[in-house]
Chains A and B, each alone.
Chain A
Amino acid sequence: MRSDLILPLILVFGSLSLSSVGGGSSTLAAMQHQTVDVHNWLTSREFVELFAISRAAPGPGSMLATLVGWKVGGWAGAAITTLSLYVPSSILCFLVARTWHSYSDRKWHAILRTGLAPIGTGLALSAVVAIARVSGAGIFAWAMAGVAAAIMLIRPNVHPLLLLAGGGVVAMAAVPFQL
């Protein structure tokens, strides 16, 4: 890859790392703006394609950054954008978590922990709606989500991979009826 792209890639994705409050999807618009409009590394269409691919891949949705890096600079570009997206926020998280953990035997810590617990749960439940919104989920998807949640609540030992595969098969089986 061109060596004059290394620094801009680090700067763009490093800033995205520290501004991605509330999860990776909050940076989508900024990433598109920087990579498409400001630096012209990709066209708008290419960005949308990469977004679609990143959603089909396993793991965190943030692998979109990996794909942008790959498109711009091959393996080196992919490694640079991935590391730039993860390292700054991870260092911050590590420092906060270490401080947090070092006081874990104090009573005020138990109170903070107890107070934060419903916040974590509330945000996790909100994330369900956020995924639904990004993926354009309709009644059918919500029904499948409900069934999957019910199965896991009743039988916690079912392997999630089985349910995911089942969901894929059921949705494919429904294709002929959606003409």
Chain B
Amino acid sequence: MTAPNTDAPAKITLRSIYFVFFQIGMFAFGGGLQSWVYREAVERRSWVNDREYVSGLAMSQILPGTNVGNLSIYLGLRQRGLAGAAVALAGLITVPFFAAILLYLAYDQIANNRWVDAALTGVTAVAMGLLLRMGLRSGAKGSEGIGSVVVIAALFLMVGILQWPLLLVVAGATPVSIALAWLRLRGTDAQ
């Protein structure tokens, strides 16, 4: 197992990792859970910085599996290795597991109810907004230079708008983005 971060002020307990992801699973309605993870892990707890977060997010989205499940494994691992990754994922899906089944049992009461439908539309719209804000803020703090802006815009156009196959786009854009990063960082002592 890799050594924990030397810049971490104190060892984060497994219990607190579980609890953070438990809360995210419980409160994050309407999708876009990445924005919740960003808020809890980056903004409130500084487990990782913006660049580590978005590069981990890129990995989470490229690998198979749910984005936020992979992201919780990446962050749990960063804090406490295998045990941290396991409790992060377990925490994330504890409440949703039971909540989904409870909702199923109550389905007859909520099915085709226009008020429920409306509330869900509103909640989902706000979740879109939260994710949009996370993308803008983490993009501004985690990336630098005009090259990065072009890469972000190109990905948004190809994957978001044109719906080109994600893997193909990522396979094409990643080498370009890494080359741009190399051009910018060579000669520096960045680590």
Contact = CB atoms under 8 A, between A and B. Distances in A.
Interface in A105-145: 105-107, 109-132, 135, 137, 140-142, 144-145
Contacts of B58: 116-117, 119-120, 123
B132 A21 contact: no
B155 interface: yes
B179 A56 contact: no
Interface of B: 1-2, 24-36, 39, 43, 50-70, 73-74, 77-78, 82, 85, 89, 92-93, 95-97, 99-101, 103-104, 107, 110-111, 114-116, 118-139, 142-144, 147-149, 151-156, 159-161, 166-167, 170, 173-174, 177-182, 184-185, 189-191
B2 A59 contact: no
Contacts, number: 386
Given A62-B69, A119-B155, A125-B160, A114 B54 contact: no
A58 B96 contact: yes
Contacts of A98: 1-2, 77
B177 A118 contact: yes
Contacts of A131: 30-32, 124, 127-128, 131
Interface residues of A, number: 97
B52 A92 contact: no
B69 A119 contact: no
Given A118-B139, A123-B58, A92 B63 contact: yes
Given A116-B177, A147-B129, A93 B107 contact: no
A46 to B, nearest CB: 11
Given A21-B167, A59-B33, A93-B73, A160 B57 contact: no
A127 B32 contact: yes
B174 A115 contact: yes
Interface string A75-115: 00010001000100110111011101110011101111111
A17 interface: yes
B64 A18 contact: yes
A101 B3 CA distance: 10
A144 B126 CA distance: 6
B129 A82 contact: no
A123 B153 CA distance: 10
User: What 7 A-B pairs are tightest by C-beta distance, nearest first?
Assistant: A122-B155, A171-B122, A59-B96, A89-B65, A148-B129, A115-B178, A126-B160
Given A89-B70, A125-B152, A78 B101 contact: yes
Contacts of A166: 126
Contacts of B185: 107, 110-111, 114
